[in-house]
Structures are given as C-alpha cells and as structure tokens.
C-alpha cells in the first residue's frame, strides 16, 4: 500500500513565541501578553480511498473489503473523513499506472490511499542448484500478471549471442606466459578500467592456485597489450585451502562493485560448478559498467537506482589439455558404434538418462561392462567440463578433430 500526499498537513497544537531583544517602537507602551491554550482544533482530513485493484475476481473482492476496513478505521479516528467513492473520477485500475492528481484535487482530497491485491503463486519447485542458489537473498519476490501468474525470487534472462570479451588471453612460450590484450568494443566509448582480475588453476583433486592481476584499462578504439603474467603456478602454490581464499577475494570485490553481501554470496554460489568445482585454468574479472550497459541494456518503467555486477570468465587451455587434444588430433577419429551397441542393451526407458549421465560425468565409463573405450574418446572425457568448446576450437584447423566432432555430434548449444 502506498500513500500520496496532495498537500502539506500541519497539526498546530500550540504556539508561543518569545523574541529576545525585541525593539519597541518609540512611545509604545509595555504590556504583558498572556495566551491560554485549552485544546487543539483539528478538522478531519478529506482522504480518498478507492478499492484496491486486483487482476483476478477473488483479488478484486479482497481489495474492496480491504478498502472498506481502512475507510472505517480512519473515519472512527476522527482525524480523517473518507470521501464518497461514487465521486471518484480515476479508476483504481488506471491508478496503478500513475495517479492523476488533478482528478483528486478537484474533489478536495488532501490524501490518497491506493493499493493492489494479488494472489501470490508458489515458487516453482526444483532440485537444480543453479535455480536454488539465487533465491538465498533478502529481496521481494517477482510475480507476473495474468490468470496463471509465475513467481520467482529473482529475474533471470538468458539468450544466445556471440559477444566479444573485452580481454583476449594469448598463450606464449609454450604456456609459460600469458599476455592479456584489449579487444576493441564497437559501441562503447572512452577508456574503461578493470580493477579486479584473478587467474586461477583448479585441479581435479580440489587443490587450487590463484593470483590477482594488476588492474588494466581497456578502450574501444584499438587492440593493445594490457599486461602479462606467468602462465603456470609453482607446485607449492597449490592447496585446497586456496579455494576459500579465492572466493573471499572475489566476494569482497563484488560487494565493492555494488552488490549486497547476500547477493554477492548468491552470485558465487549460483555459478560455483563452473567457477570453482570444474577443473581447469580460468581468468576472472569484473566487467566495466559501460560494457554491461551496452551489451545488456536494461530499462525500468519507473525511476530506480540500478546496480549490476557482471563477472567475465575466460577459459584457458592448460598444457595437459593441449596434450589430450593432440592425442585426439592425431586420428583416426573413432565412431560412437562402440557406445551405441552397448546402449542398445539398455532398456529404452533408461537409455536417455544413461547417455546424459555419461556426458555430464555423473556416471563413469568404467562402470559399464563388456566394451572397450577408444583412446580418443577417453582423451575427450578427460578434457573436462568444457571439452566441447576445446575440441571445436581446434576442429577448424585439424581434420581429425573435425571428424571426431562430427562423429559424436559435438556442437556448442
């Protein structure tokens, strides 16, 4: 419920003014002034209370009853006088868009009480972590309108696009050095600082090594070298405790960029599988606001303060992954007949789920009996969670990789 005040209201209970050093006009007689205050005089304030709006019949009925209760309570207080609803010019439905104050002033309404009643639908039930983690924030729920409204704790939008990362990472000297380059961003203007960058290497055994990288400044005009860093870590830099330190460092930077503490936590928890639980080397950085505003423009119908924090992630191919990719590229490419023949022995109702489990790694190939896995497919599985992107990155220049991708129907979704 919200209230619009059409004029300032002052309740004056008493007044006594004493002006020290008051200069009297020449010849004026001095006289004592006495003021007796016995009681206040307050006229009831004219207030308009239209029925609360609702999109469904049940909500409309509830809205009428709520307005009636508020009207009765205010009238009984003696401080307010509810105006006759029959005199209202603006409807409660149009009031939800924007009050037409002139329509209420003509009725001598000094205040306007309006509200909206809705039936909150249940948040969809799910076991998926990527949908549950964003709900762990102290925010109001969002609900769509219509006969079958949908409710969620957040707005989630997704789409398919090819966006150029503002930072390109080039591996030099057989992976011993990484050069960070600026990639021109058409549509953005001027220089944009990127103050928070992390290079992290996460191993399958959970050990992590990471370092922060000095801030860089990207620009829209031309490609240029930004900075360089070592492309590997010393063995003594790997430790399972480093994961918590990496998360803490990123959490603090996200909060400094504008998110609340629970929002920063939810953001990292939402993407923890790809950020922290998937083996590989990756570069993280917080994108400049100008890049976000240009690539993902957002408009709100009502005036609002908008804070958005975007994390960029560049997946790097490690030396071990290069070796695995070379094993596949050596050819000849196997065909999936070894797997399809084995899957044919599985009941049809279980076949799809088994294939998905094998693809995601939820079930290991070693758990299946009576068949031998080709060497190139073993190498493919060991490439990690982003194996498809790695294979496709090399398939443009290698016939065996291209044939392998074709045989196993590898494509970026």
Other beta carbons within 10 angstroms of residue 315's beta carbon come to 19
DSSP labels for 160-181?
Answer: ------SEEEEEETTTTEEEEE
Could you tell me what percent of the chain has a pLDDT over 90? Answer: 30
Other beta carbons within 10 angstroms of residue 203's beta carbon come to 15
Other beta carbons within 10 angstroms of residue 164's beta carbon come to 12
Closest CA to 383 of 320, 300, 310, 304: 320
Least confident of 15-24, 34-43, 364-373, 385-394: 15-24
Asked whether 92 and 48 are in contact (CB, 8 A), the reply is: no
Q: Is the pLDDT of residue 28 over 50?
A: no
User: What torsion, rounded to 10 degrees, do the Cα atoms 126, 131, 135, 139 define?
Assistant: -120
Cα 207 to Cα 237: distance, rounded to the nearest angstrom: 9
β-bridge pairing 208-213 and 197-202: antiparallel
Closest CA to 52 of 101, 112, 126: 112
Q: Is the pLDDT of residue 30 over 70?
A: no
Name the pTM for this structure: 0.64
**CA of 286: how far to CAs of 29, 45, 157, 256, 308, in Å?**
77, 53, 19, 11, 11
For all residues of the chain together, what is the average pLDDT?
81
Q: Is the pLDDT of residue 41 over 60?
A: no
For the stretch 338-388, pLDDT in tens is 877 777 777 877 777 777 777 666 666 666 666 678 899 989 988 887 888
Q: State the pLDDT at residue 312.
A: 92
Asked whether 218 and 191 are in contact (CB, 8 A), the reply is: yes
Distance, first Cα to last Cα, the chain? 45
For the stretch 87-133, pLDDT in tens is 888 888 888 888 888 888 888 888 888 888 866 667 888 888 888 89
Cα 329 to Cα 327: distance, rounded to the nearest angstrom: 5
Tokens of residue 168, six digits:
């390109």
Q: State the pLDDT at residue 150.
A: 81
Q: Is the pLDDT of residue 70 over 60?
A: yes
Cα 99 to Cα 385: distance, rounded to the nearest angstrom: 53
Cα Rg of the chain (Å, integer):
33
287: Cβ contacts below 8 Å, ≥ 6 apart: 166, 194, 310, 311, 312
Other beta carbons within 10 angstroms of residue 80's beta carbon come to 20
User: What torsion, rounded to 10 degrees, do the Cα atoms 64, 69, 71, 72 define?
Assistant: 140
Mind listing the domains of the chain with CATH numbers? Answer: 1-6+41-119 (3.40.50.10070), 167-298+306-316 (no CATH), 321-407 (no CATH)
**Residue with the larger pLDDT of the pair 238 and 40:** 238
Tokens of residue 264, six digits:
């920063």
Cα 190 to Cα 411: distance, rounded to the nearest angstrom: 36
Tokens of residue 134, six digits:
């964003």
Q: Which stretch of DSSP H or E encloses residue 211? A: strand 208-213
368 half-sphere exposure, CB direction, 13 A CA radius:
21
Least confident of 46-50, 177-181, 292-296: 292-296
DSSP labels for 83-151?
Answer: PPGGG--S-HHHHTT---HHHHHTTT-SEEEE-EE--PPPPPP---HHHHGGG-SS---EE--SSS--E
């Amino acid at each position: 419920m919200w209230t619009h005040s059409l004029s300032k209201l002052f309740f004056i209970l008493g007044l006594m003014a004493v002006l020290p050093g008051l200069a009297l006009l020449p010849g004026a007689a001095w006289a004592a002034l006495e003021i007796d205050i016995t009681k206040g005089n307050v006229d009831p304030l004219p207030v308009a209370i239209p029925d609360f709006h609702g999109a469904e019949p049940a909500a409309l009925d509830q809205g009428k009853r709520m307005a009636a209760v508020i009207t009765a309570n205010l009238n009984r207080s003696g401080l307010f006088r509810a105006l006759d609803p029959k005199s209202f010019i603006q409807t409660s439905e149009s009031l939800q868009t924007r009050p037409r104050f002139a329509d209420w002033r003509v009725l001598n309404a000094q205040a306007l009480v309006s509200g909206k009643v809705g039936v909150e639908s249940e948040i969809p039930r799910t076991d998926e972590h990527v949908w549950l983690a964003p709900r762990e924030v102290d925010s109001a729920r969002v609900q769509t309108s219509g006969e079958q409204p949908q409710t969620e704790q957040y707005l989630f939008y997704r789409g398919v696009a090819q966006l150029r990362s503002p930072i390109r990472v080039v591996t030099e000297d057989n992976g011993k050095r990484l050069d960070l380059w600026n990639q021109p961003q058409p549509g953005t203007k001027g220089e944009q600082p990127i103050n928070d960058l992390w290079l992290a290497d996460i191993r399958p055994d959970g050990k992590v090594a990471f370092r922060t990288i000095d801030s860089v400044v990207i620009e829209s005009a031309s490609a240029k070298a930004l900075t360089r860093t070592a492309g590997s870590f010393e063995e003594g830099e790997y430790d399972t405790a480093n994961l918590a330190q990496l998360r803490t460092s990123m959490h603090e930077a996200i909060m400094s960029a504008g998110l609340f503490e629970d929002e920063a936590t939810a953001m990292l928890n939402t993407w923890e599988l790809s950020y922290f639980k998937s083996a590989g080397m990756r570069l993280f950085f917080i994108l400049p606001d100008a890049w976000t505003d240009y690539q993902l423009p957002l408009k709100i119908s009502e005036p609002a303060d908008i804070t958005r924090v975007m994390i960029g992630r560049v997946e790097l191919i490690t030396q071990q992954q290069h070796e695995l990719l070379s094993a596949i590229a050596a050819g000849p490419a196997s065909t999936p007949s070894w797997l399809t023949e084995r899957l044919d022995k599985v009941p049809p109702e279980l076949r799809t789920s088994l294939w998905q489990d094998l693809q995601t790694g939820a079930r290991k190939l070693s758990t299946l009996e009576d068949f031998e896995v080709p060497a190139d497919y073993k190498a493919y599985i060991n490439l990690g969670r982003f194996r498809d992107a790695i294979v496709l990155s090399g398939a443009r220049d290698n016939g065996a990789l291209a044939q392998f991708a074709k045989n196993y129907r590898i494509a970026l979704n």
